[in-house]
Chains A and B, each alone.
Chain A
Amino acid sequence: MAADIHEDQVLGKAYDARLMRRLLAYIRPYRGSAYLAILCLLAGSAFSVVQPYLTKVAIDRYIRENNMHGLSQVAVLYALTLVLVFGLSFGQTWLINLMGQKIMRDLRMELFRHLQVMDVAFFDKNPVGRLMTRVTTDVDALNELFTSGVISVFEDLFMLSGIIISLFLLNYKLALAIFAILPFLVLATLMFKIRVRDSYRNVRTAIARINAFLQENITGAAVVQLFGREQKQYQRFALINKDHLDANLQSIFYYAIFYPILEVISASAIALIVWYGGLQVLAGALTLGTLVAFIQYSDRFFRPISDISEKYTILQSAMAASERIFKLLDTKPAIVSPEAPRAAEVKNGSIEFRNVHFHYNPGEPVLRDISFRVAPGEKVAVVGATGAGKSTIIALLNRFYDVQQGEILVDGVNIKDFELQGLRRSIGIVLQDVFLFSGSVSENIRLGNPDIDDARVQHAAETVHAARFIGKLDQQFASKVGERGSSLSVGQKQLLAFARALAFDPRILVLDEATSSIDTETELLIRDALEKLLAGRTSIIIAHRLSTVQNADRIIVLHRGRIRETGTHQELLHLRGIYWKLYQLQYKDQPDSVPQFAHAPAAQSSIVNRQS
C-alpha cells in the first residue's frame, strides 16, 4: 500500500511532449469550440487592455479641454467595452468548460470500458481504491488542466503582451523604465515559490502523519484503553500536531512576507512613473492622461505574472495524472475472446478437465494434474478442506484465469476457443458471497439483461422461494436492496442469487454454497430451491451442505490441489479416508435432511457409531 500511495503522489515534469500530444488528441473532436474559445479570449483581452487607454483619452482630450459631450462619449465607450468583455469571457468560460466536461466524459467512458475487458488477474493485482482513483480523481486533475490550466495561461500571455504593446505605444522610454523592475519581481516570485513548496511539502507530510496517527488510534482505541496509554498517545499526537503547526507557521511567514514585497515592487513601479514620467510631463513629452493610464496598466501588469507561476502546479499534477491514466489504458487484457471462435454457446453441457495445472503465483501450485469429466446433466460435488483449491475450479471453468498446463473442454471444445462472453453466458454462477448491486430486487435478478422480462423475473423468484420474502418488502420487486444488499439477510441474498441464476437459464451451473448458518426454515427453502435450480443442468457444486453431497451423482475430494478420492457419498464413507474425516468435521452436525433423504443420515450415523 505504501508504494501505491507513493506512486499516486509523485509529481514529475510539468510538460511532457509525448503525453501532451496524446492529450491533445482528445480535444480534436471539439476543436471547433476550442478555436472559438481562443478567439473569444483574444478579443476579450484586447477590449480590456483598451480600458486604461480610454481613461487617458478622457483626461487628455475631454476633461482637460472641458468637453462634456466628448466625456460622455468616452464613458459610453468604456461601458461598451465592459459589456463586450462580459459577453466574450462568458462565451470563453462556457465553451472551454463544456469542452472540458465532454472530454472528461469521453475519458471516463474509455477507462470504464477498458476496465470491463480487463481480466480477473488484473483486478487481483490492482486494489479497488487505486482503480477508482484513475476513474475519478485523476480524470478530474486533467479537467483542471483543460479548463483553468492551458487556457488561462493563454489568457495571461495575451494580457501581458497586450499591456506591453500598449505601454510601448504610449511611451517607450517610460515603458522601458518600468521593465527594469521586472527582474526583481521574477526573482522574488521564484524565491517565494521554492520556499513555499518546501514548507508546503512539510505541511503535507505532517498532515499525512496526523491522519495516519488518528486512523491508527481510532481503530486501535480498544488497545489504547486496555493498556491505559491515553496520556502517552496524547503526548505523541501533540508532537506530530506541533510539527504540523510549525510547518504552517513557517508557510504563513513566507506568505506574510511575500505579499508586502510584491506591493513594494509594484509601488516602486508607480514611484518610477511618478518620478520619471512626471519629469517628462513637465518637459511636455508626456500627457497627464498617459501618466494616469501608465499607473493603471502597471496595476494590471503584475497580476498575470504571479498567476502564471500558479499554473505550474496544475500542469505538473495533470501530467502525472495523465501518465497514470495512459498506463492503465495501455495495459492489455490477458484473456480475450478468440478471433475465430469455434463455438458461441454451450449446447449439451459436458465438461472435462484434462491434466490441469494451475498456480496464481509461480512456485505455489494450487491445482495439480486435475482430470475429471462431467456428463451433460450430471451433478458433481467438490469437497475439501479450506485452501484445497475448490473455488479455483469454478474460476477456471469460467475462464477468469487461463490454465498453465492441460486443458478444459466444454462440449468437447477447449474453452479458449469459445466466444468468451458466450461461454460465460452459458455458465451460471452462484458464489458463496452473494454480490448484490445497489438497485432494485428485480434489477439484481435481471442484471441488465433485456431478454429477461418481468414475468420471467417473477417466475424465477417464485421457483426458488424468493418471491415470499420479496412480497414482504415495502415495494416488492422494485425495493432497493441497499449498498451490497445490506438490508437483506444472508439467506435472502442466497435465494436472490438462485433466482438470478435461474432467470439466466444457463446450460451449466457452478455453485459455491454459502457456509454461514441460517435458520432452519430458510435452510429448507434453500435446499428445495437448489434442487429446482439444478434440475436438467450440468452442475459442479462446492458443497457445504449434507443434503447437497448426498444428492450429488458423484463427489470429488480435493486435497492440497489434487483429486484424492472420487465416488458417491456411501462409497467414500466406506473408504474411511479424507472424505470420511471431512464428513465428521463439516457435515455430520448439520440438521437432518429433508424427508426424502431421511434414510441416508440414519444409515451413516450407524456406521460412525460402530466405528467409534
Chain B
Amino acid sequence: MTEWTIRAAAPGDLVLLATLLPAPGQDASLMPAGDRERLLVAARPGADAAGAIAGCVRVRPAIGRDRPRYWFHVGCAVHAAPELGLFHQQRTLVLGNDLTGAWEIADLACDRTGLDAAAQQAVLRQLLRAALAEIRRQRAEQAGCGEPGTTTVFCELPGVRDAAGQSAFWFSLGRHFYDGDPQLAAERHGPAWKTYVAALLPREPLLVSFLSDAAQSALGAPDASVALQAQLLHEAGFRRGRHVTIDDAGPVFEGEIDLLGARATAP
C-alpha cells in the first residue's frame, strides 16, 4: 500500500484542492485562516508538483469563537401520565452552540475518481491520523504555555441527499424559514452560511415528530458519498453524538482526543 506524504497545503495546491472541497465562499480562501488552523494534503510520494494531491483534511482549533457555530442537539422528551396509560417518548431538536471551543476536523476528502477504494481508504486513514497528531502536537504546545485546552474533537459529515442534491431534512424544516436555495447560499458564503441561516431557524425546541418521515430517518445519517469517512471516523474511536448539522441533519462525530486514534494509528 502506498504511503502518502502529508504536508501543509501550499498556494500551488489550490487548483486541485478546489476539485476536492466545496467552495470556500465569497472573499474567502481555501487556505487556512488564523495561526493555528491547518490544511493538510496527502501528496503522492516523490511528487511535489501540482497534480499530485490525493486528499486533504483541515484542523480547526477552538471553533466558534470568532463566528458562532450552530448545531441541533437531538434530545428526548417524555409525555407520561400513568393515570391515562400514557407514556410517549420522542426526540427533540434544540438549536445551540454546544460544541463551541472544541477542535474540529473538517474537509476530510480524497480524490474519488483517480483512486480505487483501497487507496481512498488508505489516504483518508492517513489524513485522519495526521489530523489527530496535529491536534496532539498543538495541545502539547498549549500545555507548555499553561493553557488547559479542550479535549473534545468533532467532525461533521454531510447528511443524506437525493440524486438531485436535495435534503429531505431541509425540505421538511429549513426551507420554511429560509426560502433561498441552500446550495447557492453555501457556494456563495462557504461554511459561514450555516451561521447565517441559523439566525432564521427556530430558537425553541422542536419535536422531531413534526418533521416528515423522510426527514426523521435522515436525522444523523451520513450521505452515501461519505460512507468511507464515517467508517474511518468510527474506527478511529469517534462516535455519533447528540448533534446533527442544521442544514441537512448530517452526523456530527465526536470524540475525546486522549481516546482517539489507537486503531487508526495501528499498522
A binds B: no
- Which of A's residues lie within 8 Å of B, judged by CB? none
- Which of B's residues lie within 8 Å of A, judged by CB? none
